Amino acid sequence: MVLNSGDAPTRETDSDPATMARGFNHLDPAVAETAYETLGTIRRGCPVARSGELDGFVLVTGYDEIREAAQAPDRFSAYVDGLGAAAVVTEMREAVAPMFETDDEHHHQWRRALMDFFTPAAAAAQEQYVRAICRETLQELIPRGAADLVSGYTQQVPPLVIGRVLGLSELERAWLSEHVRALYGAETVSEAQQIGRVYADFLLGQIRERRAYPGDDLLSRMVTAEVDGRITGEDELIKMTMLMVAAGHLTTADACATAILQLLDDPALRERVTGNAGPVEAFVEELVRYEPAVAATGRTATVDTQLGGMPLSPGDRLLLAWGSANRDERRFDDGEVFRLDRERSRTPHLGWGAGEHRCLGRHLARVELRVMLEELLRALPDFRLQPDATVRRTFGIIRGVAALPVRWSRR
């Protein structure tokens, strides 16, 4: 399943910003390694530009322009065909996912209905569980002395956490975890479709069970919520649940992998962050600014309008490159530099999005990332890259790292 680029070597790019934008395709494997150099050149030349790739879309790279689009649901809908976050569930393309792909009052009602499960207190209530599964996963790794930390660690913890929030039993969480890893790791469309069907059947079973016997969990709330005076249909709920799992799992797994890479690249940073709760929190927040895991999501223009001086018509698809906004020199000093002690400016970073669809799970993500990093640094204090390792970045809807082959002293 193609969510990201990242499987091919980089290529030379044309240095004219408009030409670069014209050929920009966030899903092209060649984009990954130099994504932010390319986006920086495009942004400085034309923060709103047209790409001719993927049947044509408008590439938005400037901070002000991205924020404006995200904060104007009366002009730009969160529903976008084939370009945005919903592309992670391609097998459910025909249904519209409530909340993720809806706007205005319908969207507000959904946010209100689910909010209880995403407050800072609800996130804090997951901390003990997150810590326990991190420890369990790391205990199994320690004696091995070497592993890929992406498949062996960062992709192991988040699916269990979102499974628990949804209300799955321990066995069901393990099933979910295994199947979502297989789904997003699938190498062919037919393999992804096959796993996608089994996964959709599993979710349908869960949805029907919650309809009959609702509990005090996120999935029960999704299944029983009355929005616009009606209970949501099964197809929409399946897509919504798939997106909820992807939002909770792919993002956090990739953010954690990027964080580990940042620590491997910068020993002084690693020393400051190790064993110190304050800096881990600051580290996570700067990481989400500098390398947001949600790299780019979409919007669709619904009226004749303009953005950054570009005239737009209803149906024009936009790609909002959140990470590019966070490096915009018009808003951030040294935006291209990772700074642990970066002062919180009056300009909030857009790594969690902006406007009405701003990340609902950000408190949970912060807890997960902090605990995953704390436990990793405690359990494998001297982990280092394998001498012959080549680390490949990914870029696309989600930004991450393909694999992190590391080793450590066995205990």
Contact set with ligand HEM (CB under 6 A): 70, 85, 99-100, 111, 162, 244, 247-248, 251-252, 255, 288, 292-294, 297, 322, 351-353, 357, 359-361, 364-365
Q: Which is nearer to ligand HEM, 283 or 322 (CB)?
A: 322
Q: Which is nearer to ligand HEM, 17 or 163 (CB)?
A: 163
Q: Reduced to 3 states, what is the DSSP secondary structure of residue 383?
A: coil
- The upper half-sphere exposure of residue 254, i.e. CA atoms within 13 Å in the direction of its Cβ, equals 28
Q: Which is nearer to ligand HEM, 232 or 252 (CB)?
A: 252
**CB of 77 vs ligand HEM, minimal distance in Å:** 11
Helix (H) or strand (E) holding 261: helix 234-265
Q: Which is nearer to ligand HEM, 30 or 285 (CB)?
A: 285
Q: CA 149 to CA 51: how far, in whole Å? A: 35
**CB of 364 vs ligand HEM, minimal distance in Å:** 5
Q: Which is nearer to ligand HEM, 335 or 361 (CB)?
A: 361
Q: CA 238 to CA 95: how far, in whole Å? A: 9
Helix (H) or strand (E) holding 226: strand 226-227
**CB of 218 vs ligand HEM, minimal distance in Å:** 8
Q: Which is nearer to ligand HEM, 177 or 251 (CB)?
A: 251
Q: State which residue has the least CB distance to ligand HEM.
A: 361
* Amino acid (one-letter) located at 374: E
**CB of 363 vs ligand HEM, minimal distance in Å:** 9
**CB of 388 vs ligand HEM, minimal distance in Å:** 30
Sign of CA dihedral 323, 79, 26, 247: positive
**CB of 380 vs ligand HEM, minimal distance in Å:** 21
Q: Which is nearer to ligand HEM, 17 or 47 (CB)?
A: 47
Q: Reduced to 3 states, what is the DSSP secondary structure of residue 216?
A: coil
Q: Tell me the helices (H) and strands (E) count for the chain, helix number first.
A: 16, 15
Contact by Cβ (8 Å): 106, 227: yes
Burial grade of 178 (CB within 10 A; 0-12, 13-18, 19 or more): exposed
Q: Hey, which bits of 265-392 come out as E strands? A: 296-301, 305-307, 310-312, 317-321, 384-385
Q: Which is nearer to ligand HEM, 17 or 292 (CB)?
A: 292
Q: CA 223 to CA 137: how far, in whole Å? A: 32
**Backbone dihedral region of 299: left (phi > 0), alpha (psi from -120 to 50 degrees) or beta?**
beta
Contact by Cβ (8 Å): 370, 129: no
Q: Which is nearer to ligand HEM, 14 or 74 (CB)?
A: 74
Helix (H) or strand (E) holding 241: helix 234-265
**CB of 255 vs ligand HEM, minimal distance in Å:** 4
- The upper half-sphere exposure of residue 56, i.e. CA atoms within 13 Å in the direction of its Cβ, equals 3
**CB of 11 vs ligand HEM, minimal distance in Å:** 27
Nearest to 389 by CA among 142, 217, 48, 149: 149
Sign of CA dihedral 367, 170, 136, 156: negative
Q: Which is nearer to ligand HEM, 269 or 397 (CB)?
A: 397
**CB of 187 vs ligand HEM, minimal distance in Å:** 25
DSSP-assigned letter for residue 336: T
**CB of 139 vs ligand HEM, minimal distance in Å:** 24
Contact by Cβ (8 Å): 71, 224: no
**Judging by DSSP bridges, how do beta strands 76-77 and 296-301 pair with one another?**
antiparallel
